[in-house]
Amino acid sequence: MILAPNETWIDLAFPLRGETLPLDHGYALFAASSRVVPALHQGEGWGMHPVFGSRLGRGVLALNGRSFLKVRLPASAIPVLLPLAGQSLVVDGHRVSVGVPRVFPLVPAATLKSRFVTIKKFHDEPRLFLDAVRRQVAAMAGLGQDAERLAISIGPRRVARVADRTIVGFPVVIEGIEPTTSLLLQREGVGGRRHMGAGIFVPPGRIA
């Protein structure tokens, strides 16, 4: 994705009210939201964060007061998503209601993390996956600093399930980031499947 030089990106966060979601809810939540706002399919580089909650039994996430449907997108696109407010969504049989959104600007941070990054053809060998992450970051236009000075590490292999498909990825942490680079990494992300919550970076301690 090539960004407009002066484009401002934000996180648009809609409170979610309900009892539960599937633990692997990324694609199902995107699909349910897209039925209300079909333009979600056309948003280049837009990303839908994983919903925060508590694991409740096998494959179930319990929602709480910090559970949001949160989308990373250009500020200019906020009006496109406003029709989600007040809607009731059915996500793989789990019903949730969507509240009035809040806007969170992206904030530079020297360390960023993503809970789940997936890169096509790089899911079996951690070392090869890490090399692929490094190449993607180094290839970003306007990175603003020497990519070799970034400390990139990955966590244990993780698996997400989408219908009858299995998606493999890894948590990724990037450290030593200068402010301009930090904003770029948050806008661009790494890897694919941003629509289902993969490859979206946030500062440590922030709920993704």
Kindly report the pTM of this predicted structure. 0.90
Domain boundaries, given as residue ranges, for the chain = 9-105, 111-196
pLDDT, tens only, 7-35: 799 999 999 999 999 998 988 999 999 99
Total residue count of the chain as it appears in this document: 208
Q: What is the mean pLDDT of residues 129-139?
A: 96
What is the amino acid identity at position 71?
V
Top-tier CATH class for 9-105: alpha beta
Q: What is the pLDDT of residue 2?
A: 40
The alpha-helical segments, DSSP class H, found in the chain are: 26-36, 78-81, 126-138, 179-188
Residue 3: CB atoms within 10 A of its CB come to 16
Work out the pLDDT band at 208, boundaries 50, 70, 90: low
